[in-house]
Amino acid sequence: MELTKEGQAALDIILKAAKDNGIDVKGGKVRRTSSRFCLGVEHGDYNGTELFGVGTDRFIWLAYKPNGTKKVRLFSGNFPGDGVIEFELGNVPEPKSAEVAETWGRFPYGIDYILRREGYELSQGIDGVLYGNIPGGGMSRSASLCNNLILSLFDANGIEV
């Protein structure tokens, strides 16, 4: 697949961030998930109201590869001040702790928790770097991030959906 100009720019940012933060994604995969906005109603999809979602040309890219351990190591090019988010699968911090509440890390921590609660056994961690060009609120940025992380963890663990 040929990359768009925006896709190549995102990949360049990801590869530089990976190198600068000691995260090896060479030989791995790149997954792209899109954003959307909903006309007339926000949060309607899980509140049972009708909505009209419109896809956009804004994305989150994740370059990742399995790392042979149970550790997940992730870096966001959008939140470099948070550093590398690292945890062992099945061993995430408490949801209300400052370590979780004040960083974008609450999303991968929450994904690990929910997938385990729903019976998915994850034993293969990943190293990954994320970057997105989705602007602020109302664009389903968190949904794009969560879908990307879930699909990538499923892929690394051989789980088909």
**Tokens 């209300």 — which residue?**
96
Q: For 57-66, 118-127, 152-161, which range has the lowest pLDDT when averaged over its residues?
A: 57-66
Mean pLDDT of the chain: 86
Specify burial of residue 33 (Cβ count, 10 A radius: 0-12, 13-18, 19+): buried
In this prediction, residue 86 carries a pLDDT of: 94
Q: Which residue has the higher pLDDT, 64 or 137?
A: 64
CA distance 36 to 51: 12
> Does 80 have pLDDT greater than 70?
yes
In this prediction, residue 133 carries a pLDDT of: 81
Architecture in CATH of 5-156: 2-Layer Sandwich (3.30)
Chain CA centroid to CA 127, Å? 12
> Does 139 have pLDDT greater than 70?
no
> Does 1 have pLDDT greater than 70?
no
The stretch 7-28 carries a mean pLDDT of 95
Contact between 130 and 145 under an 8 Å Cβ cutoff? The reply is: yes
Per residue in 30-66, pLDDT tens? 998 887 766 666 666 667 777 667 677 778 899 999 9
pTM: 0.86
Which has the closest alpha carbon to 114: 86, 153, 77, 84? 153
Q: How far is CA 44 from CA 34, 39, 109, 139, 140, in A?
A: 18, 10, 24, 13, 12
Contact between 85 and 107 under an 8 Å Cβ cutoff? The reply is: no
Per residue in 94-104, pLDDT tens? 777 777 777 88
- The SS3 of residue 33 is strand
